[in-house]
């Protein structure tokens, strides 16, 4: 009789321990999944910000190339302009792909530029 009471106490304690372990594993998994989602979102935002900076810098270089062509009439500036335009188009397509056509992403980029978070 005494052995069975000890065994019951042991098994109930073990069951409680296993239950606590399973609950902690569930919360750990859900927290890890949430952190991964947040990281993926941060990574996408960082990519958008960096590409936006690159687009703005490329547009700035293209504008300077047009000015240089107007002043010097040197044809090499037109070739550079075409390269800059192609770069902007490629980067814009990549931004569209990453944002999945979400117009709010582009509105957020414009707002970041207006607020000065993206310097050019």
Residue 22 dihedral angles phi and psi, to the nearest 5°: -65, -40
- Note the pLDDT of residue 105: 58
Number of domains in the chain: 1
Residue 43, in any domain of the structure: yes
Question: Whole-angstrom Cα distance, residue 39 to residue 48?
Answer: 14
Residue 47, in any domain of the structure: yes
The pTM of this model reads 0.52
What dihedral do alpha carbons 110, 113, 115, 117 form, nearest 10°? 130
Strands (DSSP E) found in 1-120: none
Q: State the DSSP H helix or E strand holding residue 27, giving kind and residue range, or none if neither.
A: helix 2-72
Q: What is the pLDDT of residues 56-85, one digit of tens each?
A: 888 888 888 888 888 888 887 777 777 888
Residue 120, in any domain of the structure: no
Question: 94 is in which domain, residue-wise?
Answer: 2-115
Here the tokens at position 18 are 């296993």
Is the pLDDT at 5 greater than 80? The verdict is: no
């Amino acid at each position: 009789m005494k052995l069975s009471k000890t065994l019951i106490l042991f098994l109930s304690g073990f069951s409680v321990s296993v239950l606590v372990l399973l609950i902690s594993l569930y919360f750990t998994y859900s927290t890890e999944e949430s952190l991964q989602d947040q990281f993926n979102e941060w990574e996408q935002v960082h990519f958008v910000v960096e590409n936006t900076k690159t687009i703005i810098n490329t547009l700035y270089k293209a504008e300077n190339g047009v000015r240089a062509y107007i002043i010097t009439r040197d044809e090499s500036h037109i070739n550079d302009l075409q390269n800059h335009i192609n770069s902007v188009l490629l980067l814009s397509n990549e931004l569209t792909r990453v944002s999945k056509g979400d117009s709010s992403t582009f509105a957020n980029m414009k707002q970041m530029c207006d607020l000065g978070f993206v310097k050019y």
